[in-house]
Structure 1
């Protein structure tokens, strides 16, 4: 699970939430929005669990440079 951010030509910022299976490298979800908070993250994880039949045992988060 990783967040990325960028901005459009007109200065509006947006964020991306990406979920990738570490074993298969399959992209499980990409969510794009101006604000991505806990509710949106939970919704994406619920959707992946619904599609896959279960949640993963572990979730690795890329915290990037602090």
Structure 2
């Protein structure tokens, strides 16, 4: 019931902006009579299916965690940091800092890490 009201309020604002003077109670009555609704937006897409529980890493290179951190300099410019951590040893394998990190750059850094350390069994990212 409460959700329907949002649509007529938005309509009232739009009509007022266009220069139409409409009583909001009359608009609400017409809105209800015509059974108007505002289309609901789609929610966040989530992975389908059941997730397997994550294994606990017991050896180095069992699982690497990949994450991005961002911050801002005093002059307003933003920068991002790619962090790669070995979940077993808790060792930081890579910190890559740049103003923008493309997918190609991330792939290149991971290829470099694999050449140095060997291929991990799993790479996770939130």
Matched, 1:57 2:117: no
Q: CA RMSD in A?
A: 0.7
Larger Rg: 2
Shift of 1:48: 0.5
Write out the 4+ residue segments of structure 1 that deviate beyond 2 Å after TM superposition: none
- The structure with the largest helix share of the pair is 2
1:46 paired residue among 71, 88, 111:
111
Q: Distance in 2 between matches of 1:41 and 1:57?
A: 18
- The structure with the largest strand share of the pair is 1
Aligned residues: 61
Q: Distance in 2 between matches of 1:21 and 1:3?
A: 15
- Matched ranges for 1:1-66 at <5 A: 1-52=66-117, 54-62=118-126
After superposition, the C-alpha distances for 1:26-58 in whole angstroms (9 at most, x for unaligned) are 000010011111111111101111111x22111
TM-score normalised to the size of structure 2? 0.47
Task: List alignment gaps of at least 5 residues for structure 2.
Answer: 1-65
TM-score normalised to the size of structure 1? 0.87
